[in-house]
Structure 1
Amino acid sequence: MNRLVSFLSLTAAVCLTNCNSNTDVPANESPAENKSSVAALSYTVVASYPHDTSSFTQGLEFYKGQLLEGTGMEGQSKLMQVDLKTGKASKQIKLDSSLFGEGITVLNDTLYQLTWQNKKVLVYTANDFKKIKEFPLNTEGWGITNNGKELIVTDGSSNLYFYEPSTFRLMRTQGVTEDGSPSVNLNELEYINGFIYANQWQYPYILKIDPNSGHVLGKMDLTQLTTRAKAENPKEQYLNGIAYNPETKKVYVTGKYWPEIFEISFAF
């Protein structure tokens, strides 16, 4: 009798062990297969500054310690030099009413401003916003940055386009992937210490991208800031705008119609 009880108890224990061992992990899947290779990037808000809520921010850039901003919307698109402490434009020009302004970058004292569906690149002298030429663009214009040699452009897809600055000739195209899948809605860009940081349109994320492989190495979730911006201005739209000041090593972010620009600190 004792042997029978022991046998039945052992059989039940084995059954329970086997059943429980497969509860969380299917037979054809291991826990490692669900783990993302993209690091979560943490950040700290160091300070905040006022931002004009009428600005549909498309590009944010520092040039010789001065904050530059490009805005969009037909009839409202501008190129501005902005006083960071007050949020007021100290210098600005308006784009032609037919143009929808997009991202901006400065390379070799030359400022490049994209337009959205107009497929034009506007080129200025950076110190006085004097227009010097235009280039045609073979895609939509969204975000732009540079690596010191090439201009790097997005068009809302998962691609980065590398252009020759003097001719705007396309040199190469680099697809961007996150855990092996194409990234989406790549928008405003900033090049910092060898990596590209990209806003994703309609998402509260900034992606850290290896420009050589296109792999997303890190992802920063700025939901806290987008929530704060929405609470302060119900007309707030998406996170868009990354600026790195190479003189101070500080990074600033904002968004379309946001009431604030945030200085954030994180490991580059």
Structure 2
Amino acid sequence: MLKPLATFALAACVLSACGAQAAVPIYGFVVKNAYPHDPKAFTQGLFFRDGHLYETTGRNGTSWLRRVDLASGKVLQQADMPSDVFGEGSTPVGNDVYALTWTSQVGYVFDRKSFKLKNTFKYVGEGWGLASDAKQVYMSDGSSFIRILEPKTMKEVRRIQVTHNGKPIAQLNELEMVEGELFSNIWGTDLIVRIDPADGNVTGVINLEGLLPPAQRGTADPDAVLNGIAWDSKGKRLFVTGKLWPKLYEIELVPKR
């Protein structure tokens, strides 16, 4: 994935509102806790269930599904994806975990307890992020569109385009459903957008600049960017991390505008 200049132009547009209509709320953050995170994990998907973090990673040969102890960062369970695929986002659906691949156009269905592979599913184009609620699965593909899928068949029902003041926001990556809103990383930036899943409108922007200093991000690897959002619905805790980051953070959002 090459880092397009348009990504940064869009980031600037989101934060400034481009002089257009009423600006959406901007949020900063306060770090509540910091936890160990495997610096070799190329984080693509992240979610929190039953007291543990679940994570999918990418790159050929290092694409895994993992169950991780939050406090220690210890890997408690792992399933390896085939070495010829590049793992991407994941989400829980019932008692299963659905996981995407980048360009292979195939997804995997794992049993959430045993991590045994139960099934596969097909889709057209690239797979980036996944999120789910009680009724639907949401999938990003790197564009400004989010596909809405039927969970049992993973067939596309419709699409929404994510826009900010009428302008499309592309490079949507990792997704998480947070109390009725979709949160999405904008790839290559330190921004997370909050999205109304009914119409794709951006309802807020979270600016995480400064969360992890660039010197600690594995500067030899330009892909060590912010990516990974998990929501603890019971404890009302928000977790974020990045690809190859040594830490995972619990943050509290602070309104800035």
- TM-score bracket for the superposition, by shorter chain length: 0.7 to 0.9
Counterpart CA distance in 2 for 1:224 and 1:180 is 29
Summarize the alignment of residues 74-223 of structure 1 with structure 2, pairs less than 5 Å apart.
74-223=60-209
Counterpart CA distance in 2 for 1:33 and 1:254 is 31
Give percent identity, aligned residues only. Answer: 37
Q: Give 1 or 2: higher strand fraction.
A: 2
**Alignment partner of 1:67 out of 53, 59, 63:** 53
> Which deviates more from structure 2 when the two are superposed, residues 241-250 or residues 37-46?
37-46
Counterpart CA distance in 2 for 1:198 and 1:72 is 18
**Alignment partner of 2:218 out of 230, 233, 239:** 233
Equivalent residue, structure 2, for 1:16: none
Counterpart CA distance in 2 for 1:34 and 1:145 is 30
Shift of 1:266: 2.1
Counterpart CA distance in 1 for 2:220 and 2:178 is 30
Which ranges of structure 2 fall in alignment gaps of 5 or more residues?
1-17
Amino acid at match of 2:89: G
1:260 lines up with 2:241 in the alignment: no
Amino acid at match of 1:73: R
Q: Does the 8 A contact of 1:115 with 1:121 survive in 2?
A: yes
Counterpart CA distance in 1 for 2:114 and 2:94 is 14
Amino acid at match of 2:153: T
Shift of 1:229: 5.2
Q: Does the 8 A contact of 1:229 with 1:260 survive in 2?
A: no
Root mean square deviation, CA, Å: 1.7
Counterpart CA distance in 2 for 1:35 and 1:170 is 32
Runs of 4+ in 1 over 2 A off after TM superposition: 32-37, 229-236
Q: How many residues align?
A: 236
Q: Give 1 or 2: higher helix fraction.
A: 1
**Secondary structure at the counterpart of residue 224 of structure 1:** coil
Q: Does the 8 A contact of 1:37 with 1:217 survive in 2?
A: no
Amino acid at match of 1:106: P
Q: Does the 8 A contact of 1:229 with 1:258 survive in 2?
A: no
Shift of 1:90: 1.0
C-alpha deviations, 1:34-87, integer Å up to 9, x for none? 465221013211010111110000011112121111000001111101111121
Counterpart CA distance in 2 for 1:223 and 1:110 is 34
Counterpart CA distance in 2 for 1:225 and 1:42 is 10
Q: Are the structure 2 counterparts of residues 187 and 149 from structure 1 closer, same or farther at C-alpha, using a change threshold of 3 Å?
A: same
Equivalent residue, structure 2, for 1:14: none
**Alignment partner of 1:246 out of 233, 237, 241:** 233
Equivalent residue, structure 1, for 2:8: none
Which of structures 1 and 2 has the bigger CA Rg? Answer: 1
